[in-house]
Structure 1
């Protein structure tokens, strides 16, 4: 996951706009039956476990885990998928033409994390990539997750102008349709500049890294109300987030590697 202003952890059809900010939401599905998705509770204890699953701390009601992990029993579970970039070293899992390339034919990478950008620049490629990511989303449904968090929505900003915000939004619409058809809510990850388009893009709630640190939390709440989950990675960021939003939003501070509890470097703090 990368924040537009800084570097943080990188691990690793019907489109609807969510009108409700809490509770259940009815969405159109490709079949004749409507699917129902449940949004995460607002201002709830949250833990970000994409670096490895562990027993959630007392008071946690919402947890995000990687799509390869199992959900936490009895909690609201969000499933992390790296949707716009390939995992480090996983270029071979993608058809060669689905990796974004520069004018010399070389793969374009997110240099901070060594991840190849996926080429969402044409409708045909978006459809193919969405089919592959959609299989991961289906897996989230099958495991019992309630929502999906597709990461690197903002990867177009690291593409050297080869991809656009419109490309990213066209792709996220495919993912939101797949998630809703699976009965899963879908989060907007970072990318505050596109938050105002959340209804058209079919996005139900927001997961925002360092919006306290960079004074962006209001960009998310203006679009998503209080259904915003905040992850900070510094003491100063947590302090700012808690001062401004601690009474309304779900806020947690984690170490930048999102280490499992008990491991070296593990940090978890709340307001």
Structure 2
């Protein structure tokens, strides 16, 4: 009898296991996100958005214009051992891009200060999501590893639209999601005030002039999370910002504002 009971209990347990729903489990990570490139703090980089591309700079990371360069240029950088970031403007319209005519006029606001560029009404995600998805598809098709979406802080500027911080959070998270769904890691460009909310959504940061404006400490959460901060200054000498940049763990260099090949790293 005792032996029969011992055999019967496991059978009952087995039956219960087959009929009882499994306890709730955390969602499994998206396989595409699990394979994303996650740049670590301190990586040296090159940022070149103008002039003939110089692929010979001995750094592990390049950031180049997504429209201006073909897949062959990305492949060449990969052969040289580089990871390659696709620069796109996602918060402003540029009249010189091949898809410029696809943007409805109602989306276009004030000039953002650069010739031929105007802020976008980021509240209109119904119109912007497919346009930006197509651009990110281009980055993926060319073989890029990541994307740098620019002009992602319209709510702090005179755009011509009553944009709020909440609008910006919604739009920035949309861009991050669209990028990650395509296997591209994504960087937060400037928008320092929203780092606490957006840190989980972005894989690295790209910043201009945080030393000049005394804001570099705001980027430290990225470093603490094991995420790179790619940083440039334009008007300060290296001796004025490099010591502090190194203390904070930023990947810093001096560039000219045209963002050609010239660079002076910390």
* TM bucket, shorter chain: 0.7 to 0.9
**Cα displacement string for residues 63-111 of structure 1 (whole angstroms, at most 9, x for unaligned residues):** 10011214222201111000010114565331122223xxxxxxx2223
Structure with bigger helix share is 2
Report the equivalent of 1:264: none
**Cα displacement string for residues 29-84 of structure 1 (whole angstroms, at most 9, x for unaligned residues):** 7xxx7652111243122110122452334431111001121422220111100001
Report the equivalent of 1:255: 256
Seen in structure 2, the aligned counterparts of structure 1 residues 141 and 53 have a Cα distance that, compared at 3 Å, is farther
Report the equivalent of 2:134: 135
Q: What is the alpha-carbon root mean square deviation over aligned residues?
A: 2.3
Give unmatched runs, 5+ long, in structure 2.
Answer: 1-27
* SS class of match (1:86): strand
* SS class of match (2:244): helix
Give unmatched runs, 5+ long, in structure 1.
Answer: 1-25, 101-107, 262-266
- Looking at structure 2, the residues matched to 116 and 199 of structure 1 have their Cα atoms a distance apart, in angstroms, of 27
Q: Does 1:111 align with 2:113?
A: yes
- Looking at structure 1, the residues matched to 107 and 93 of structure 2 have their Cα atoms a distance apart, in angstroms, of 10
Report the equivalent of 1:77: 84
Is the CA contact 1:35–1:182 (under 8 Å) kept in the aligned structure 2? no
- Looking at structure 1, the residues matched to 240 and 196 of structure 2 have their Cα atoms a distance apart, in angstroms, of 23
- Looking at structure 2, the residues matched to 120 and 114 of structure 1 have their Cα atoms a distance apart, in angstroms, of 18
Is the CA contact 2:46–2:57 (under 8 Å) kept in the aligned structure 1? no
> How far apart are 1:235 and its partner, in Å?
3.3
Alignment size in residue pairs:
225
TM-score, L = length of structure 1:
0.75
Seen in structure 2, the aligned counterparts of structure 1 residues 135 and 59 have a Cα distance that, compared at 3 Å, is same
- Looking at structure 2, the residues matched to 180 and 191 of structure 1 have their Cα atoms a distance apart, in angstroms, of 19
Report the equivalent of 2:187: 187
